[in-house]
Amino acid sequence: MDNPPIKQNITATLEENYMPYAMSVIISRAIPEIDGFKPSHRKLLYTMYKMGLLNGAKTKSANVVGQTMKLNPHGDMAIYETMVRMTRANGALLYPYVDSKGNFGKQYSRDMAFAAARYTEVKLEDICRVVFTDIDKDTVEFQDNYDATMKEPVMLPVAFPAILANPNQGIAVGMASNICSFNMGELCETASQLIKDPNTDIMETLKAPDFPTGGYIIYNRDEMRQIYETGRGSFKIRSKYKYDKKNNCIEVYEIPYTTTCEAIIDKLIELIKAGKVKEIADIRDETDLNGLKLTLDLKKGVDPEKLMTKLYKVTPFEDSFGCNFNILINGVPRVMGIKEILNEWTLFRAECVKRGIAFDIKKKSEKLHLLLGLKKILLDIDKAIRIIRNTEDDDMVVPNLMSGFGIDELQAEFVAEIKLRNLNKQYIIKRTDEVDSLTEEIKKLEDIYKSDRKVRSLIVKELGEISKKYGSERKSEIISGGELEDYKEEQFIEDYNLKVLLTKDNYFKKISLVSLRSASEQKIKEGDKIIAEFDSVNRADLILFTDRQNVYKARLFEMNDCKASSWGEYLPNVLSMEPDEKVLYMVPTENYKGNMIFAFENGKIAKVPLEAYMTKQNRKKLMNAFSDKSPIAGILYTETETDIVTYSNAGKRLVLNTDKIPLKTTRNTQGVFIMKLKKGSVMNGAKLLSESGLENPESYRARNLPSSGYYDKEESQISIF
């Protein structure tokens, strides 16, 4: 018999099984700490530091990966990929931590693979000297590695705000972090100013983010202030390009940090195939050892500046960086603004400095203590020699010296270890002269240790030296958003006069008037007929009404031109219509002026302004475009109030002016009764009077509405569908 299933409380199960995993990902993997590193970065750099790669020659990457496994239990490829991103060759960091030799791929390339670890070589960059500042002086806490065979630092004692100096991204469980990078000079100056004056406006010194891939930062002061204050928000980065007039091509040499050249090319190809970008003749990736270069060959007569304005809008040539300054502070994730981050870093750095000073005080005090014992020996060297010589038991040398000179065990051990050749007055005087200088040094260190102001002054001094040594010119240029030309799609649309036609079988024809002059006879499918025909321009919108009460919207410039001799485009394929859906009517418009007239079989007519179908979101499909309470009998468009004719299947006609129909702003209004119908009869058509061919139309006009209309046996019944 099968065991019955064990019932589990979902809350308890989540707490016992899922929460430990989630917390591990947040605290030990994905979110950086205030020193600017995730555990994987820290373990790798510390391993390289212990391997002597700060001063020594480069070693094979595979060697570093293997050594790092003593601290990091992940696989070799995970460790190597972490290293790759930190190298100078990869270009992912504004201030790389790993000097490299070989192929490490590129930040701006999705498909450029890095070489295997057995081929490449690495060592630490010189900037790591200030990453590991005084790490051997107990400046940070150490912890056991995963198998408790080694010690590793909990954090690194970075002497500059590394958390903001390099880009850092992480996705945890239920939260994420995305930190942009800032210029070292600006960052160090801002941190210094903030230490001196907590109320300083950091926007005066920290101008904007800076990225290793360069580009333009589109600067909006209000948006940037929001990011600085809250740690959340986004800003735009734009590619840099130059125009080669001789070869009529655009060369893009810097792209946003958030994209890759392959992603840009893929998007361009997609737009070209869709006919939305027609100005480009060819695209080439000409990236080489000199750096990134995407070349766009232009067609004749194309304005490169206008084209790039368009491409910035529709491709990743311009992209957004979404900021989420989520950082672990004492094991707790916090989203902070720049000022709060720098304040937290200052507290962290001050603690590192104080721990280093305390270490120096301890070491110097221990040395002073030994020298004070040696100084007592100076009073009678012969006595010391005599005590040692007359002591028969080796273990009694130290106790005898202690009792003979009144010194402690450490001092006596120090004296006992002095070589015989050094037991002379000159040596001892020379060593004991250090007592005064050591005493003075210890006093100064204790004064600094006790004064937060002096500790912060030391930090400011360090920041100034680091800025001078490692600072660099900005790579990302700042441009004001207000100075940029906005993309207006209309500027890029070739405008010309054309004729548009719709057939009963859902074929659409867009023919330029120039083409129409050479062949005016329209070819349509056998058994098909034209149900709507308009003169328009290429910049107009096209509105199409279907038998499912839907409206489909398209831009005429996006529709293909055709010749009078072709059937045209099959609309269900172009518009992705519903199965068996039929287009009943169409209207091209530039300004959405005029009204739509909907005639229903129940004798009602609705008049709706065309602007009711205009949407700000540029939607492609609108539902409930007209009423479904009664089958549709006819759809008309009138630019101004005009006469129309309605028909019934009983052979009656009714002429009326559209000003008699009240205007309704609701698209699916049921309208008002216009034509009185006898039982069994329906209104089966509506036409503009100018297109009806009626003779003596006034004889069909009713004085009052609704009206049953008038017979005319000589005229045939009509249905427009």
The sign one gets for the Cα dihedral 512, 513, 519, 522 is positive
Of 536, 538, 24, 533, the C-alpha closest to 278 is 538
For the record, the structure tokens of 76 come out as 């070799």
Helix axes 338-378, 397-405, angle to 10 degrees: 90
Decide: 658 and 644 in contact? Cβ < 8 Å: yes
Residues 596, 635: Cα–Cα separation, whole Å: 7
Residue written as token pair 């006595």 = 383
Decide: 602 and 630 in contact? Cβ < 8 Å: yes
Residues 10, 469: Cα–Cα separation, whole Å: 56
Rg of the chain (C-alpha set): 41
DSSP secondary structure letter of residue 470? H
Residues 712, 421: Cα–Cα separation, whole Å: 141
The sign one gets for the Cα dihedral 457, 462, 464, 467 is negative
For the record, the structure tokens of 268 come out as 């361009």
Angle at the Cα of 717 from the Cα atoms of 716 and 720, rounded to 5 degrees = 120
Burial of residue 109, with CB atoms counted within 10 A of its CB: 0-12 exposed, 13-18 middle, 19 or more buried: middle
The sign one gets for the Cα dihedral 644, 646, 651, 653 is negative
For the record, the structure tokens of 63 come out as 């060697």
Mind giving me the DSSP string for 34-72?
Answer: TTS--HHHHHHHHHHHHTTTTTS--EEHHHHHHHHTTT-
The rounded Cα 522 to chain-centroid distance in angstroms is: 51
119 has catalytic annotation: yes
Give backbone dihedrals phi and psi of 715, rounded to 5 degrees, phi first: -100, 140
Residues 500, 556: Cα–Cα separation, whole Å: 9
For the record, the structure tokens of 264 come out as 């840009």
Residues 6+ apart with CB under 8 A from 436: none
Of 305, 296, 146, 325, the C-alpha closest to 232 is 325
DSSP secondary structure letter of residue 33? B
Residues 323, 98: Cα–Cα separation, whole Å: 26
Decide: 632 and 599 in contact? Cβ < 8 Å: yes
Do the bridges between strand 142-144 and strand 121-124 make them parallel or antiparallel, or are there none, so unpaired?
A: unpaired
Of 218, 226, 212, the C-alpha closest to 182 is 212
Residue 706: cis peptide before it, omega within 30 degrees of 0: yes
Residues 6+ apart with CB under 8 A from 561: 498, 510, 511, 512, 515
> Of 119, 146, 496, 711, which one is the catalytic site residue?
119
- The residues facing 535 across adjacent strands are 499
Catalytic residues: 119
